[in-house]
Amino acid sequence: MLSQLLCATFLEMIGDKMKFELSKKEKALLSNLQGGVSQIKIYESCGYPCRVTFVLLDGTSVTIGATEEHIFHKFEVNPASVSELQLCCDPKQIIDFNTGARPSAIFVLQKSDWVEGATDEEKVDLLGNPVGALSQSEGRAADIPENALGAVTFDAGVFIDFEHGESILVATSMFPFALYVSDCAFSEEADAEIYDHIRLFGGGE
């Protein structure tokens, strides 16, 4: 589980857990992938994937990126976004499907981020005043500890199984506007265990 140490001199409490989900329009765009994909274009910014565009067989595009939500001081999360955006710049990597690839299953990847008071061991590694230090972690909703000071659950990306046997994961990370993309040469590896898979299409019951 990835932890990111945060220093804060105050904490604004959240009463209930917050949730950010893809809109109906965004989920409808993801459902359009059922018609078949001709290309996957992966775009880069600052050395990391920043957007992934699925070019459909009908010529339209579905692009996945990251947004940013400020929950409270020093606590930010990065839900996924889905649009019809067609970027003007060249992609860093292109995956071609000569005859088209049709998904057999599409899952929305959902995860949670939460903050806790930093442990004494974690405070040792901090610079400056450790008073009010927080630790931010990520995982499934079921992993949120009871003593979490704040927690957010959100749609972080997609996992797609294709009929020809390949699959792709595209998900946001804890770093602003950066994505995890499977089989991408310039992407860090995602921990698939931190996501709940919410079935959007196919994949059985």
DSSP for 13-35, please give it: --SS-EEE---HHHHHHHHGGGG
Which tokens go with 14? 């959240």
Q: Report the mean per-residue pLDDT for the chain.
A: 86
CA within 13 Å, CB half, 146: 0
Closest CA to 43 of 35, 33, 51: 51
Tell me the three state secondary structure of residue 142: helix
- Give the model's pLDDT for residue 129: 55
Between 149 and 188, where is the model more confident?
188
Q: What is the mean pLDDT of residues 199-204?
A: 83
Domain coverage including residue 91: 3-202
For residue 6, pLDDT beyond 80 = no
Single pTM value for the model: 0.85
- Give the model's pLDDT for residue 87: 94
Which tokens go with 204? 């059985």
Number of domains in the chain: 1
